[in-house]
A = this chain, B = another copy of it.
Amino acid sequence: MATVRGFFTPKTATGRSSLIPSPPWHYSGDLLTVEYRTDPAKVAALLPEPLGLAEEDPGAVAVIWADWQSCSESREELLDPVRAQYKECFVVVRCSYDGRTYSRCVYIWVDKDFAVARGIHQGYPKKLGSIHMTRPHPYGLAAPRIDAGGVFGATLAAADRRLAQAVVRLREPSETNGFVNGHPMAHNRWLPSIEPGKGLALDELIVAGAESFEAGQAWAGEAEIELFDAPTEELADLTVEEVIGGYYRQVGVVWNGGTLLETGTSGAL
């Protein structure tokens, strides 16, 4: 009898076909962040048991666009960049669990299948989308610089509808890249039973964060953001009550797994 292997499916005798290789996964990319406040009840409505609202500023939301290049330990994907590049837009809130504050991604869209598969593993609720963000460049008039006065736009669409758009005007260097996405991520990994009516086959609460992180100077500035409704999306229900600010930062990240916190307790249906 064969042993099939591979970090993800499809599993084969060699493991070569796996949609994603084993962690660690390396990321180099740019983050455009807009933070705002919504009604905390709308954040609470997205938190399954036993997660609760964060104590401070519980209605804070970060919408983050990222333009990534990523690879496995072999780095071989970098020379076949269709396998390395992807963009994403994700929406982060904070929550509390066991006396600590965590970040939590409540919505996320990516544009490649390997990024979807990583999300299945990491508990990110990924859909496919079309994501664009202005790219800085040092030459010519067709790009901002990462500097005071630099203006960046970002858009998100899915299923042929625009879901979000933002503009950030850089003003000054910043000590932070925002505060909403700054904690380890408390995520659920859920999969329904194959048998109808039997509930969840997998119901885990896990925590995961970057194994290592390096970054350039963060910049802060003014931000505008618009969210648009769609039949299968609830992003626009996280209404923008007050914009906190916008940020831009170039980062390098290593992700290498997380920790199981508990199982079977989310109460999710």
B-chain residues with CB within 8 Å of residue A250 when the two chains form the complex: 137-139
Asked if A1 meets B251 with Cβ closer than 8 Å, knowing A79-B151, A204-B194, the reply is no
Scoring A residues 28 to 51 as 1 if CB is less than 8 Å from chain B, else 0, what string do you get?
Answer: 111000000000000011111111
- Asked if B252 and A140 sit within 8 Å, CB to CB, the answer is yes
- Asked if B107 and A10 sit within 8 Å, CB to CB, the answer is yes
A103 shortest CB reach to chain B, Å: 15
A209 shortest CB reach to chain B, Å: 12
Identify A231's interface contact among B19, B80, B143, B214, CB under 8 A: B80
> With the chains together, A155 CA to B45 CA distance in Å?
32
Q: Which A positions have Cβ atoms within 8 angstroms of B? A: 1-17, 19, 22-23, 26-30, 44-52, 68-71, 75-76, 78-85, 106-108, 112-113, 116, 120-123, 125-128, 130, 132-135, 137-144, 151-155, 157, 159-162, 165, 167, 188-196, 201-202, 204, 206, 208, 214-216, 231-234, 250-254, 256-260, 266-269
